[in-house]
């Protein structure tokens, strides 16, 4: 269960004895999950660890992105503020290789299969004048 979905954790008595209970928020299904563990000391250790992790996550949740609130406020106040330039490198490949591959009407001639020593598997024969190496160099 993701910590963001947990509502609470507790140890309760059940018809099977003491159980670790995890309540899930209503918007996430509203489930009440019970877990019985033996020995009981192990359940207390797991409960403390789970409660601690849930409390830490609730204070500072991780949503998958790092956000700097101060930086966001500065950008909001001054939208013309310098932003970091992207480090982008544009690579050019031999476009003629791909054009020749796509221009070939392999559907009309049927897919001729052969074993490629380079790849170690069966492939369609490349069009005239092209090799497997030239097709893979585009990728």
| pLDDT tens, position by position, 63-87 | 777 767 666 566 555 555 555 666 6
- 32 DSSP β-pair partners: 23
Alpha-carbon distance of 4 to 113, in angstroms, equals 51
Q: Which residue has the tokens 């380079």?
A: 118
Alpha-carbon distance of 135 to 24, in angstroms, equals 52
The pLDDT assigned to 119 comes to: 85
**Token pair of 14, please?**
């059940």
Check pLDDT > 60 for residue 109.
Answer: no
pTM: 0.43
* Contact yes or no for 36/16 (Cβ under 8 A): yes
The pLDDT assigned to 23 comes to: 92
* pLDDT (mean) for 23-35: 88
Instruction: Give the 3-state secondary structure of residue 46.
Output: helix
* pLDDT (mean) for 103-130: 75
The pLDDT assigned to 65 comes to: 72
Q: Which residue has the tokens 């140890």?
A: 11
């Amino acid at each position: 269960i993701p910590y963001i979905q947990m509502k609470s954790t507790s140890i309760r008595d059940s018809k099977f004895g003491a159980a670790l209970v995890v309540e899930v928020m209503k918007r996430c299904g509203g489930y009440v999950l019970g877990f019985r563990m033996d020995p009981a000391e192990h359940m207390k250790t797991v409960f403390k660890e789970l409660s601690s992790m849930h409390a830490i996550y609730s204070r500072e949740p991780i949503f998958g992105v790092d956000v700097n609130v101060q930086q966001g406020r500065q950008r909001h106040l001054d939208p013309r503020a310098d932003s970091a330039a992207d480090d982008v490198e544009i690579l050019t490949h031999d476009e003629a290789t791909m054009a020749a591959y796509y221009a070939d009407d392999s559907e009309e001639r049927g897919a001729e299969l052969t074993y490629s020593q380079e790849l170690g598997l069966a492939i369609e024969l490349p069009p005239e004048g092209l090799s497997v190496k030239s097709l893979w160099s585009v990728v």
